[in-house]
Amino acid sequence: MGEVVDYLSDAGTRAALLDMLLEHVYLSLLPLVVSVVLAVLLGLLAHRLPWAKAALAGTANVLYTIPSLALFAIIPAVIGTQVLDSANVVIALTLYTTALLVRPVADALDAVPAHVTAAATAMGFRPVRRFLAVELPLAVPVLAAGVRVGSVSNISLVSVGALIGTGGLGVLFTDGFRQRYLAPIVIGIVLTLLLALVVDLLLVWLRDRLAPWTLVGKP
Amino acid sequence: MIFADAFAWLVDPVNWSGGRSIPVRVGVHLLYCLGAVLGAAAIAVPLGLFIGHTGRGGVLLVGGSNALRALPTLGLVTFLYLLMGGGPAGVLIALVVLAVPPILAGAYAGVQGVDRGVVDAARGMGMTGAQRLWQVEVPNALPLLVGGLRNATLQVVATASVAAYVGVETLGRPLLDGLRVLDYGQFVGGAVLIALLAVLLDALLAGVGRLVVPRGLRLSAGSRRRGVELAAAAAQPDAGGSTA
């Protein structure tokens, strides 16, 4: 405990911590945003085309099985980015989160009752607007559950990127290990947990704004 | 072409014999994983079954195990390694800690999700608590329980690779060494090996799962993994509930 206080007493260290935290937020949440868009588009595809659904589910399952460190290393070999580029981490986490979200989104779209879409059509909604105004909002609770799982997993996985030269809070772990110094490691773990907690609370808040009907009947 | 270099590294006979060869590292990797999953199962399966059966402490469990889910693997490994003064014990404990939440979630969600009508029917037939647990709830919970074990295995295989950073001779070693000496063939070759190991182990466990899960209870392949995670997420109270 005393070690941690000593470590934090230096203003330069605190500034560096803030930089790492911000980079961590960027590296973990950018993939989340991108993959929500991708998952909605791919989920729509899977909803319309049964063979695409099977192919996407198979690909997603295999992708999800590949350990993060291995995926971080394979991506530059496949797409030709620099080995130490943080884009590798962003792309890998985007793939994981999209793999996590596609199927629930497709299932949620499948579950929209036919009479609801028929009513929307009868009211004059064209397909694009009907999708954006009726079908997609009904999928929000499912999407939100997946995004919450994805955000926790991304926030935890970004640190592994420190092994291949990416910034973020993971640098605290490699630095702490090299100097045989527990304080930065403890701070890194605590900040990661706090970040995951704060982001999760924000996601719950956002879900309740986007799908207020799910609150009906709750105290 | 990096993949050609990776292939050359993978088939180089030098890498297939001696104390630092690929087979030895695969063996070390598997030993760590096996030890960690067995250790975690010994803790998490009884606990998950108990909480699912009695319904006591479910909220606490789901909240707590989701908090563990947010733990950064590299942070936990370096922390426990230094705390235990080096050696394999710290790494093994870290792996066990990371394998507990998915198994616990699977066991709990499995038992808790059994149709209440089925459990009530068993009670109405005069079955005791223990009979209900072993003859009704556990068989019904097997698909999610096996799903939890699979998730735990994936987590442990991934983290054992990361743990090569603190010096254990797992399959992460060639990857990290390759990066250090800028041998990208070895770097990517090591990554391919880790990915292959994970995919093969998962397929193996999927096969085992098909053997032990009673017919009629089989979930479709895709609903398994998400079933566990989303069940855990959904079982959470929203007021103040959070995955961290």
CATH number at residue A46: 1.10.3720.10
**Amino acid of residue B149:** L
User: Does A16 map to a domain?
Assistant: yes
State the average pLDDT for chain A: 92
| Residue A1 pLDDT class (50, 70, 90 cuts) | low
Question: Shortest Cα distance from B187 to chain A (angstroms)?
Answer: 7
Task: Tell me B135's DSSP state.
Answer: I
At A4-38, the pLDDT tens digits run 888 888 888 889 999 999 999 999 999 999 999 99
User: Does A114 map to a domain?
Assistant: yes
Assign residue A22 a region (left: φ > 0; alpha: ψ between -120 and 50; beta: otherwise).
alpha
**Reduced to 3 DSSP states, what percent helix, strand and coil does chain A have, rounded to the nearest 5?**
85, 0, 15
Q: What are phi and psi of B176, to 5 degrees?
A: -70, -40
Out of A65, A83, A172, name the one closest to residue B199 (CB).
Answer: A65
Out of B78, B188, B225, name the one closest to residue A177 (CB).
Answer: B78
Residue A84 · residue B180 · CB < 8 Å:
no
Q: Report the pLDDT value the prediction gives residue B87, as an integer from 0 to 100.
A: 83
- Could you state, in order of their start, the residue ranges of all structural domains in chain B? 23-234
What percent of chain A has a predicted confidence (pLDDT) above 70? 99
Which residues from A are below 8 Å from B229, CB to CB? 149
Question: Shortest Cα distance from A122 to chain B (angstroms)?
Answer: 34
At A155-200, the pLDDT tens digits run 999 999 999 989 899 999 999 999 999 999 999 999 999 999 999 9
Q: How many domains does chain A have?
A: 1
Is the interface score ipTM higher than 0.95? Answer: no
Q: Report the pLDDT value the prediction gives residue B116, as an integer from 0 to 100.
A: 87
Question: Shortest Cα distance from B81 to chain A (angstroms)?
Answer: 9
Closest residue in chain B to residue A172, using alpha carbons only: B75
Q: Report the pLDDT value the prediction gives residue B129, as an integer from 0 to 100.
A: 87
Selection from B38, B28, B13, B68 nearest residue B167 by Cα: B28
Residue B226 has pLDDT above 50, yes or no: no
The answer to whether A67 contacts B154, with C-beta atoms less than 8 Å apart, is yes
For range B174-183, the mean pLDDT? 91
- The CATH architecture to which B23-234 belongs is Orthogonal Bundle (1.10)
State the average pLDDT for chain B: 85
Rounded Cα–Cα distance for residues B226 and B148 (Å): 10
Rounded Cα–Cα distance for residues B204 and B219 (Å): 17
The answer to whether B172 contacts A69, with C-beta atoms less than 8 Å apart, is yes
Residue A139 · residue A210 · CB < 8 Å:
no
Rounded Cα–Cα distance for residues B45 and A159 (Å): 29
Q: Report the pLDDT value the prediction gives residue B59, as an integer from 0 to 100.
A: 77
Q: Report the pLDDT value the prediction gives residue B205, as an integer from 0 to 100.
A: 92
Which residues from B are below 8 Å from A185, CB to CB? 75, 78-79, 82
For range A115-122, the mean pLDDT? 92
B112 versus B215: the higher-pLDDT residue is: B112
Which residues from B are below 8 Å from A146, CB to CB? 226, 230
Task: Tell me A132's DSSP state.
Answer: I
Rounded Cα–Cα distance for residues B235 and B18 (Å): 50
**Structure token digits, residue A97:** 């989160």
At B119-128, the pLDDT tens digits run 899 999 999 8
Residue A185 · residue A197 · CB < 8 Å:
no
Which residues from A are below 8 Å from B165, CB to CB? 163, 174, 177
| Residue B218 pLDDT class (50, 70, 90 cuts) | low
> Which residues form the domain of A148?
2-214
For range A130-159, the mean pLDDT? 92
**Amino acid of residue B5:** D
Q: How many CA atoms lie within 13 A of B108 on its CB side?
A: 31
User: Does A219 map to a domain?
Assistant: no
B58 versus A194: the higher-pLDDT residue is: A194
Q: Report the pLDDT value the prediction gives residue B241, as an integer from 0 to 100.
A: 31
Give chain B's length. Answer: 244
Residue A114 · residue A169 · CB < 8 Å:
no
At B33-42, the pLDDT tens digits run 999 999 999 9
* Coil/strand/helix, residue B40: helix
> H or E element: which one contains A188?
helix A182-210
Residue B199 has pLDDT above 70, yes or no: yes
User: Does A53 map to a domain?
Assistant: yes
What percent of chain B has a predicted confidence (pLDDT) above 70? 88
> H or E element: which one contains B176?
helix B172-180
Q: Which of residues 55-114 of B touch A (CB under 8 A)?
A: 66-67, 69-76, 78-79, 81-83
Rounded Cα–Cα distance for residues B159 and B101 (Å): 14
B221 versus A177: the higher-pLDDT residue is: A177
